[in-house]
Homo-oligomer: A and B are copies of this chain.
């Protein structure tokens, strides 16, 4: 055991930061044994010295000068749990320049500007680890980066946002509409007062970019990710899914397509028998398909102070060991430099529900609308209801452009009174 402690600075003391600080104290003995040297909390940067906190901290450890803390010269390890783009980016860059290794949970920053950070870490010869940025406590980045390094990942399907999974699960189990389920999520603390980042899929899109970058050894940023949120998912969509023995989930989907990749976030129907279908409430799960390993799933709490702190501290132990050994872990791997396909070229299936006139020839004209776009039909279900009928069509896989054009055509047809539900179907072959 080394007796000289490694000094750690924690930037941010909100729900994650305060749990990190708590665990650094409570687990000090185990952390020292696992790292090979004691970890000493050298300072905690906060916005306001007098803010109420979940934990008690000696006043002399608190500072509002985060930049001063990371550049003071004796900090070995920096934990960034402030979130957002600035000042987090400047602080991480300054920490690396000053010789510290960095652990961050900042998905937004990594998805927007990861390469800048990775290059700075490589230049400084330091580690930049970020397991907590995707799916909270679930170990998924390390398995993708290391355990599957000898395999070829072909697809990643993730439920990576607990708020939207809670809302969709509520809609599924209670029949509630989106607004009602959102309000319950807010009342229970699963959704924020301004739920935009979760509900519109921005949070999931950032995570999708990070997952795709690691899975496919390429640079994928948030701007590359096609994104649809769940605000337009209706109780009717959820009921339609149920009739097909499916559930609706907001999925982060990263797929290898030839030499290119497709990266997207949108609600989708998946079969009830799919392992992701049973991920309930605010839980997260990531389903990985690879050539040799086959199908793997990683499941657990996707958010929360303590679970996220667990992921942060797992990284901290690794970067601390590396620091002691004078080495660094796996850095960015982007050698494959794969192109990201536009959404129109992405292959998917559509579930389309229509109100149509109940007369001869309507089914034929609907079928023609599909075939004119080169889309073949997997199943059709028709239900007469007097003068009108309901048609449910599930397509075979086709490009999103073909499918969208088909729906556009259907909307304009005289015999089609309304297109009542359109949703992609995922999780099959």
In the complex, which residues of chain B have a beta carbon less than 8 angstroms from the beta carbon of A301? 293-295
Question: Which A residues, 332 to 367, have Cβ-Cβ distances below 8 Å to chain B?
Answer: 333, 335-336
Considering the chains assembled together, what is the distance between the CA atoms of A239 and B189 in angstroms? 41
Could you name 8 residue pairs across A and B whose Cβ atoms are closer than 8 Å? Answer: A23-B151, A30-B217, A31-B150, A137-B293, A150-B309, A150-B316, A292-B307, A293-B311
Pairwise interchain contact A310-B325, C-beta atoms closer than 8 A:
no
Q: Does A298 contact B (CB under 8 A)?
A: yes
In the complex, which residues of chain B have a beta carbon less than 8 angstroms from the beta carbon of A291? 306
A357–chain B nearest beta-carbon distance, Å:
44
Q: Does A321 contact B (CB under 8 A)?
A: yes
Pairwise interchain contact A299-B313, C-beta atoms closer than 8 A:
no
Pairwise interchain contact A296-B292, C-beta atoms closer than 8 A:
no
Pairwise interchain contact A147-B300, C-beta atoms closer than 8 A:
no
Considering the chains assembled together, what is the distance between the CA atoms of A68 and B75 in angstroms? 49
Question: Which A residues, 236 to 290, have Cβ-Cβ distances below 8 Å to chain B?
Answer: 275, 278, 290
Pairwise interchain contact B314-A149, C-beta atoms closer than 8 A:
yes
In the complex, which residues of chain B have a beta carbon less than 8 angstroms from the beta carbon of A275? 278, 299
Q: Does A5 contact B (CB under 8 A)?
A: no
Pairwise interchain contact A147-B152, C-beta atoms closer than 8 A:
no
Pairwise interchain contact B325-A327, C-beta atoms closer than 8 A:
yes
Considering the chains assembled together, what is the distance between the CA atoms of A30 and B151 in angstroms? 9
Contact among B292, B300, B313, B333 with A310 in the assembled complex (CB-CB below 8 Å)? B292
